[in-house]
Homo-oligomer: A and B are copies of this chain.
Amino acid sequence: MIATEKMKVGEQPTGNPMEISVIRIQGSGNGPRVYIQANVHGAEVQGNAVIYQLLEFFRQHPPEGDVVLVPLANPMGINQKSGEFTLGRFDPVTGVNWNRQYHFDASLIAPFCEEYRHAEETVIREAFRGQLRQHLHERLNSPWGLTCGQHLAINLQLMAVEADIVLDLHTGPISARHLYVPEYARERARYFNIPLNILIPSDFSGAMDEASFSPWWQLSEAFAKFGRPLPVMVDAFTIELGSQEKLNVQAAREDALGICQYLQHQGLWSATQVVECEPVTQHACYLKDYKAFFSPAGGQVEYHAAVNQPLAAGEPLVTLWHFNALASEACERRDLALHCDAIPVLHFASASVNQGTELYKVMTNTFPL
C-alpha cells in the first residue's frame, strides 16, 4: 500500500502554492514508524535519490511499520537560484537557516514528569507524543502567524512527531559521507555503515534531528533524576550523503542499503534478514571535537587534503594564493596546515574566499565508533 499526496507548505507572492509530495507506505505489521525527508537545504539533492532507492527497496521488501518519505522537502529553498547555484541553505529574505526553525519548548518537560511520574511506559509514550503534537498545532495556529521557514518546519515536524525513527537527509559542500549520532544511539548507529560519525549531546538548536530526539532524551534525563530509568523512545539522525549540487541515482543505492540495515536492526522487517552491507571503517568524535578551520586571509584556494583521509598535524591542508601580489614584495602564497591530527570531513565549495571563510571541517580526537 503506497500512496502519495500533495501537501501545501507555503505560498509565493504570485499566489503560487509551494507543495511537497508525501509518500506513505502502510506497514504490513507492527514495526516502528519511520519518517525520512530529503533536500531541506536546497542544494543538497542526493537525498532524493536515496529516497528513490529506498522506495524501490520497500517495494521489494514491504516493511512491517509505516513509512513516510518526503523528497524535495523544502520547495522554497530548492527553487531559489542565485547565479548557477542553488541558494538553498537559508531563507533569502531573512538569512535564517532552513534547518534551524523546528520547534521544541523544553518547559513542557517538568510538569509532564510531575504528572506521569508513575505511569507505564506505553502511557508515557502516547501522552508525551500527544503533548508534542498539540504544541505544534498551537504554534501552527498562532493568530500572529509564523515565518515562512517555521511554517514549513512545523508542517514537516507534524509528520515526524508521529514516528519512532526520523532521518533527515543532507549533504555537505564538498564532503565525505558522515552521520550525526545522538550519544545514546551510538551502538546502533554503526548499522548505517557510514565512515565518519559525530556524537552529539541532547541540546536543541532548531534542527530536525534535535527537534525529534531532544524532547524524548530530555524526558529520559528528567525521569532519571527521579531515579526512574526511561529509555529514549525516538531515534533521529542527520545523514550527510556527500557533496551538494550532485545527483547520482545509482550511487544512492549504497546509502539506501545502509539505511535499510539500520532499519532492519530496529525491527522494520522482523522475520527475515533483508540486507547486509560490507562493513566500512568507522571513525567517530564528539561534537566539541568537530572543528572548523577558517581562512586567515582572503585569496584563491587549492584544497590539498582529501576528505575521509586521516591528516597528520602539519601536513598540507590548503594553499592560499594572493595573485594580486605576483611580482611584488608581498606574499604571493601561504601554505596552511593544522596544528593537530585530524580527519577532514568536508571543505568549502568555491576557490575564492574571504578572510573568515570556513575552509575545512575536520574531526579531531577520533576513535572507532
A305 to B145, CA, bound (A): 18
A92-100, A121-129, A203-211: which lies at the B interface?
A92-100
CB distance from A127 to the nearest CB of B (A): 29
Partner of A19, one of B16, B92, B294, B352: B16
Interface string of A126-141 (1 = CB under 8 A from B): 0000000000000000
Tell me which of A45, A79, A87, A293 has the highest count of chain B C-beta atoms within 10 A of its own C-beta: A79
Question: With a CB–CB cut-off of 8 A, which chain B residues contact A246?
Answer: 351
Whether, in the assembled complex, A62 has its beta carbon less than 8 Å from a beta carbon of chain B, the answer is no
* In contact, B95 and A90 (Cβ under 8 angstroms): yes
- Complex-state Cα separation, A290 to B247, whole angstroms: 27
Contacts of A300 in B (CB 8 A): 13, 45, 48, 247
Q: Are A144 and B291 in contact (CB under 8 A)?
A: yes
Interface core residue of A12, A17, A55 (most chain B CB under 10 Å) = A12
Copies in the complex: 4
Name the residue of chain B whose CB is nearest to the CB of A297. B11
Interface contact B349-A85, CB-CB below 8 Å:
yes
Residues in B whose Cβ lies below 8 Å from that of A15: 72, 297-299, 322, 324-325
> Is A301 at the interface (CB under 8 A from chain B)?
yes
Residues of B within 8 A of A48 (CB): 300, 321, 323
CB pair A324 B14 closer than 8 Å: yes
Q: Which of A293-333 contact B (CB under 8 A)?
A: 293-302, 319, 321-328
CA distance A197 to B76 in the complex (A): 35
Give Cα distance in the complex from A173 to B83, angstroms. 11
Q: Is A366 an interface residue (CB 8 A)?
A: no
Distance A355 CA – B146 CA, assembled complex (angstroms): 9
A189 within 8 A of B: no
Give every chain B residue within 8 A of A86 (Cβ-Cβ).
13, 83, 350, 352
Contacts of A302 in B (CB 8 A): 247-249
Interface residue A292 (Cβ < 8 Å from any Cβ of B): yes
Closest B residue, CB atoms, query A296: B145
8 Å CB contacts to B: which residues of A1-56?
2-4, 10-21, 23, 42-43, 45, 48-49, 51-52, 55
Contact of A71 among B95, B295, B323, B349 (CB under 8 A): B323
Chain B: which residue is nearest A93 at the CB level? B81
Segment at the B interface, from A147-155, A213-221, A223-231, A261-269:
A147-155
Contact in complex: B353, A3 (CB < 8 Å): no
From B79, B82, B358, give the contact of A13 (CB < 8 A): B79
Do A292 and B323 contact each other (CB < 8 Å), given the known contacts A151-B356, A298-B14?
no
Instruction: Tell me if A245 counts as interface (CB < 8 A to partner B).
Output: yes
21 contacts between A and B (CB under 8 A): A2-B327, A13-B298, A13-B299, A14-B79, A16-B79, A20-B324, A52-B326, A71-B324, A81-B354, A82-B83, A82-B92, A85-B349, A86-B352, A89-B95, A144-B293, A145-B293, A148-B354, A149-B356, A151-B356, A245-B350, A247-B321
Besides A12-B78, A21-B327, A52-B323, 20 new A-B residue pairs in contact (Cβ under 8 A), listed by A number: A13-B78, A14-B324, A15-B299, A18-B355, A21-B328, A72-B324, A78-B352, A81-B354, A82-B83, A82-B87, A83-B85, A95-B96, A145-B296, A146-B294, A147-B294, A147-B358, A245-B352, A247-B302, A248-B302, A249-B321
Question: What residues of chain A have their CB less than 8 Å away from a CB belonging to chain B?
Answer: 2-4, 10-21, 23, 42-43, 45, 48-49, 51-52, 55, 69, 71-72, 75-76, 78-79, 81-97, 143-151, 173, 245-249, 291-302, 319, 321-328, 339, 348-358
